[in-house]
Amino acid sequence: MSLQCGIVGLPNVGKSTLFNAISTGVAEAANYPFCTIEPNVGVVTVPDERLDVLTGLVKPQKVIPTIMEFVDIAGLVKGASQGAGLGNKFLANIREVDAIVHVVRCFQDENVVHVEGRVDPVFDKEIIDAELQLKDLESVEKKIQKLEKAARTGDAKAKVELDVLKQYKGVLESGQNARSLAIDPELKEAAIGDIQLLTAKPVLYVANVDETAMLTGNEYSEKLREAVKHEGAEVIVLCAAIESQIAEIEDEEEHEMFLSEYGLKESGLSKLIRASYALLNLITYFTAGVKEVRAWTIEKGWKAPKSAGVIHTDFEKGFIRAEVIKIADFEKYKSEAAVKEAGKMSVEGKEYVVEDGDIMHFRFNV
């Protein structure tokens, strides 16, 4: 599955430092592969201790983790919705991603110029929100104009969509993001699925602090957390400058020592990658054999046949059943044979909803 998180924020908030840290070495430091597929797109593996557990037990010839993509989107400025600072290009880049990682400056540094002249994370967040909302309002109003004529002729579908669009218009005009409107998913898709509203995308916030605050946060990160509380959005506190140093350490022992020196159990980037994965509504299931242990990405809520299809379309077309082992049972009994002997392997049909961490073996016939 090729889903992307776009890293956004004002200039000089630490976006590029964060992206470069991700693309330099979170994967490398954890002995995971990394590659860059475009100048501003990084493909990283998702840290997962369960994969390490399976690898230790199965001892396969090959291990393949699951991956996700991050897009480094250049800094937005006030007026971007009207084209300021190459705004149209940057907003188009945001439209193409599936979720947003919003980096907010939460540190003081006289050597790093703030585009607005002062450090105020809530104000910074609101600048980005306002520009995205203005662009969304423009998109909604254009579609309303198209639908009004059809609605006047009695088109029932157009009337329903028009009503939904007017709700979105009201939300945006009140200075709220489109994602704040609770609405039936099918109605939402019909009304705005084709216009890809920027503020309808799921979001998480990164409070970029200095190294003195990366464990506990600071007054700025707390203000940001309070400001986004009503959104139900997660806030990850990290120091991008330190994360970039951590990412460059290739030796595993030195890497662990560096983390320990700062009182960290893991890098902030690892937390960010996992949080971004969850933000995209993604979960992982595993296949495990001597030849290969592999993590597979699916969307939460997928049933067994569709989940099997990510391995090969034939698995979905000819699905017969799925043999499922919970990873906790595999870890307890140490092998597939022992799990079966203990009666802990279940056989599931087409209606089984795959759970995060399931170890799957699919039976199919084409």
User: For residue 89, what pLDDT is reported?
Assistant: 66
pLDDT exceeds 60 at position 39: no
CA angle 11, 248, 74 (to 5 degrees): 20
% pLDDT > 90, the chain: 69
Residues 192-251 have pLDDT tens digits of: 999 999 999 999 999 999 999 999 999 999 999 999 998 889 999 999 999 989 988 888
User: For residue 293, what pLDDT is reported?
Assistant: 97
> What residue ranges do the domains of the chain occupy?
4-45+67-118+201-279, 128-199, 301-364
User: For residue 77, what pLDDT is reported?
Assistant: 62
pLDDT exceeds 70 at position 81: no
Q: How confident is the model at residue 1 (pLDDT cuts 50, 70, 90)?
A: low
* CATH architecture under which domain 128-199 falls: Orthogonal Bundle (1.10)
User: For residue 30, what pLDDT is reported?
Assistant: 31
* CATH architecture under which domain 301-364 falls: Roll (3.10)
Q: What letters, b where the CB count within 10 A reaches 16 and e where it falls short, cover 80-112?
A: bbeeebebeebbebbbebbbbbbbbbbbeeeee
Q: What is the rounded average pLDDT of the residues 99-116?
A: 82
Question: What class does CATH assign to 4-45+67-118+201-279?
Answer: alpha beta
Structure tokens of 72?
């480094």
The residue ranking higher by pLDDT, 138 or 42, is: 138
Give which of 26, 8, 77, 31 is closest to 246, Cα–Cα: 26
Residues 271-322 have pLDDT tens digits of: 999 999 999 999 999 999 999 999 999 999 999 999 999 999 999 999 999 9
Q: What is the 3-state secondary structure (H, E, C) of 179-248?
A: HHCCCCHHHHHHHHCCCCCHHHCCEEEEEECCHHHCCCCCHHHHHHHHHCHHHCCCEEEECHHHHHHHHH
Q: What is the CA radius of gyration of the chain?
A: 23
Do 198 and 91 contact (CB within 8 A), yes or no? yes
Rounded distance between C-alpha atoms, residue 2 and residue 277, angstroms: 12
12 carries a ligand binding annotation? yes
DSSP states along 76-126 = P-TTGGGTTTTHHHHHHHHHHSSEEEEEEE----TTS--TTSS--HHHHHH
Determine which of 6-15, 50-59, 76-85, 178-187 has the lowest per-residue pLDDT on average. 76-85
% pLDDT > 70, the chain: 89
Count of CB atoms within 10 A of residue 243's CB? Answer: 27
Do 325 and 286 contact (CB within 8 A), yes or no? no
Rounded distance between C-alpha atoms, residue 14 and residue 37, angstroms: 22
Q: Cα separations (Å) of 6 from 9, 144, 184, 204?
A: 10, 28, 26, 11
User: For residue 15, what pLDDT is reported?
Assistant: 86
Do 116 and 130 contact (CB within 8 A), yes or no? no
Q: What is the rounded average pLDDT of the residues 116-143?
A: 90
14 carries a ligand binding annotation? yes
Look up residue 303 and give its DSSP letter: B
Mean pLDDT of the chain: 89
